Amino acid sequence: MSALAAALRDAAPMVERVAAGVSLAAEFDRIAEEGLSTPRGALIDLTHGTLRRYGRVQAIVRQLSRRERGDALVEALLWCSLYALESGRYADYTVVDQAVRACGLLERWNAKGYVNALLRGFLRERGSLETRIQADPEARYQHPRWWIEIVRNAYPAQADAVLQAGNSHPPMCLRVNRRRVALAQYQERLQQAGISARPLGNEALLLEHPVPIERLPGFDRGEVSVQDAGAQRAADCLDLADGQRVLDACAAPGGKSGHIVERAQVALTALDADAGRCARLERNLARLGLGARVMHADCTRLAEWFDGTPFDRILADVPCSASGIARRHPDIKWLRRADDVAAFAARQNAILDSLWQVLGADGKLLYATCSVFPQENDAVIEAFLARTPGAVRLSLPDRGAAQGLPDAERDGFYYALIRKPA
C-alpha cells in the first residue's frame, strides 16, 4: 500500500466530518484513540492544506463534476487529492494513481472511474479553470462570503492581505523564559542546534522554519515556550509589577498565564471553564516551574470562585471567533456562521461586566481577543465604556495599535486597556 493512498484514505473521512460540522481538533482526538497508521504530520498536511483551500477545491469539483452533489466521502477524497496536486509535493500521475487506489481502501470501488476522470480533467483544464473559478469569491479568497464582507468593510486597503494571511502557513515564534535564560543566549543555543531565529520583542524569537518542539533546547526544562508574537503582547500591555494580585479570567491552555508569572512576582489566579483545559494549564505551569492558583470556574459566576479580595490587574482573554488565527485552525472559517459573531459579542460583554466587579480601585483590565472582526473588538469596548461610569481607556503600554492584523510574523490580536477609577 502506498503511503499517499493510505494518507488520503485517512484524511478524507476527517475532512468529510469537518464539512459536516465536526471540529478538526475533535477529529485528531478521535484518530489518536483509534491509532491510525498514517503519521500525524502527513495527516496535518493533508487536512490543514485542504481546509485552507476549501473554497477553492469545492469550486473546482463543482466546475468539473457532471454529477449532482454525491457521496460526501468521495467529494472529500477529491478535495484532498486536489490539494495534493497543487501542493507540488508529488508528481501529478502519482496523485491521480493514489487517489484511485484510495477509493478501494475506502470501499468506494464504483467511484474509481469518476475520481480518475475528474482529476485528469483538472490537469487538462487547469488554465481555463483558473479563470472560471476566480469569479467565485469563496474560491478566490478561500473564506466564506460573510467573512470576506466583514474584512473588506473593516479594512478596505488591507483586506486582500488579511485574507491571504488566513490561508498561509502560520509562523512559529518562541517565548524565552528570561527567569531561566537570556534571549541572546538562547538564540545562540538555537543556532548551535541548527535552528535559525531572530528577535521580535523582549522575549520573542521568530524561527525561520518551524521545528518540532523536541528539537528546542531546554523546552522540557521550561526555558522556552511556543507562543505567537501577537499573543505575547498581553504581558507587555498588562502593566505588571511585583506584588500585584492578577487574574487571568479565561486562562487555558496557559500561554499568557505562563508569560505573566515569568514577567513579575505576582499572585496569579488562572480560571477556565473547561476542566480538561485547566489540567493542561497546570501541566504548562509545572513545566515552567512557576506557580499560580488554577481554578475550574466560569468567570461570570462570581459566587463560585471570587473570594472577595479585588484584583490589581485582570486579563480578559475572551472567547471569540478566532478570526485572527484562522490559519492555525483552518476548519474555523467553515465551522463559524455569520450570526456567531453577535453571539460572541454578547458573551464578551457579559464577561466584561462581571470582571469589572472584581477589579480593584485604580486597577487595570486588559481586554484581548484573537479576532480581526470589529464587532468583537472596538464595538464591544465602546459599548462597555458607554455603560460603565468612570471606566477610562488607556493607551497601550507597548505603544502598539489596538488591532494587530495577521502577517508573516504574527497572528491577528486585539487589545484594549481600561482603568477603574480610584
pLDDT tens digit string along 139-154? Answer: 999 999 999 999 999 9
Domain tally for the chain?
A: 3
Residue with more model confidence, 408 or 29 = 408
Tell whether 347 and 395 lie within a shared domain: yes
Q: Is the pLDDT of residue 1 over 50?
A: no
pLDDT tens digit string along 279-320? Answer: 999 999 999 999 899 999 999 999 999 999 999 999 999 999
370 part of the active site: yes
pLDDT level of residue 225 (50, 70, 90 thresholds):
very high
pLDDT level of residue 66 (50, 70, 90 thresholds):
confident
Residue with more model confidence, 35 or 115 = 115
Segment 228-239 shows an average pLDDT of 97
Tell whether 84 and 177 lie within a shared domain: no
Tell whether 164 and 183 lie within a shared domain: no
- The percent of residues in the chain predicted with pLDDT above 90, rounded, is 89
State how far the Cα of 398 lies from the Cα of 408, in Å rounded to an integer. 20
Last residue of a domain, one of 142, 160, 180: 142
Q: What is the pLDDT of residue 250?
A: 93
Tell whether 111 and 54 lie within a shared domain: yes
Predicted TM-score (pTM) of this structure: 0.93
Q: What is the pLDDT of residue 37?
A: 78
Q: What is the pLDDT of residue 35?
A: 77
State how far the Cα of 337 lies from the Cα of 113, in Å rounded to an integer. 35
Q: What is the pLDDT of residue 291?
A: 87
**CATH number of the domain where residue 159 is located:** 3.40.50.150
Tell whether 263 and 336 lie within a shared domain: yes
Q: What is the pLDDT of residue 2?
A: 80
Instruction: Please identify which of the residues 173, 250, 320, 370 carries the catalytic annotation.
Output: 370
Q: Which residue has the cell 463559524?
A: 336
State how far the Cα of 25 lies from the Cα of 40, in Å rounded to an integer. 13
**CATH number of the domain where residue 184 is located:** 3.30.70.1170
CB 72 within 8 A of CB 33: no
Tell whether 78 and 178 lie within a shared domain: no
Tell whether 241 and 380 lie within a shared domain: yes
pLDDT tens digit string along 354-395? Answer: 999 999 999 999 999 999 999 999 999 999 999 999 999 999
* Other CB atoms within 10 A of residue 161 CB: 14
* Other CB atoms within 10 A of residue 116 CB: 15
Cα 31 to the center of its chain, rounded Å: 20
Instruction: For residue 303, give the DSSP letter.
Output: G
Tell whether 260 and 396 lie within a shared domain: yes
pLDDT tens digit string along 176-214? Answer: 999 999 999 999 999 999 999 999 988 999 999 999 999
Tell whether 211 and 281 lie within a shared domain: no
Tell whether 185 and 151 lie within a shared domain: no
Q: Is the pLDDT of residue 36 over 80?
A: no
pLDDT tens digit string along 89-124? Answer: 999 999 999 999 999 999 999 999 999 999 999 999
> Tell me, what amino acid is at 116?
N
Domain span at 66: 3-142
CB 205 within 8 A of CB 176: yes
Last residue of a domain, one of 227, 247, 262: 227
**CATH number of the domain where residue 59 is located:** 1.10.940.10
Q: Is the pLDDT of residue 8 over 70?
A: yes
Tell whether 104 and 247 lie within a shared domain: no
pLDDT level of residue 59 (50, 70, 90 thresholds):
very high
Tell whether 213 and 344 lie within a shared domain: no
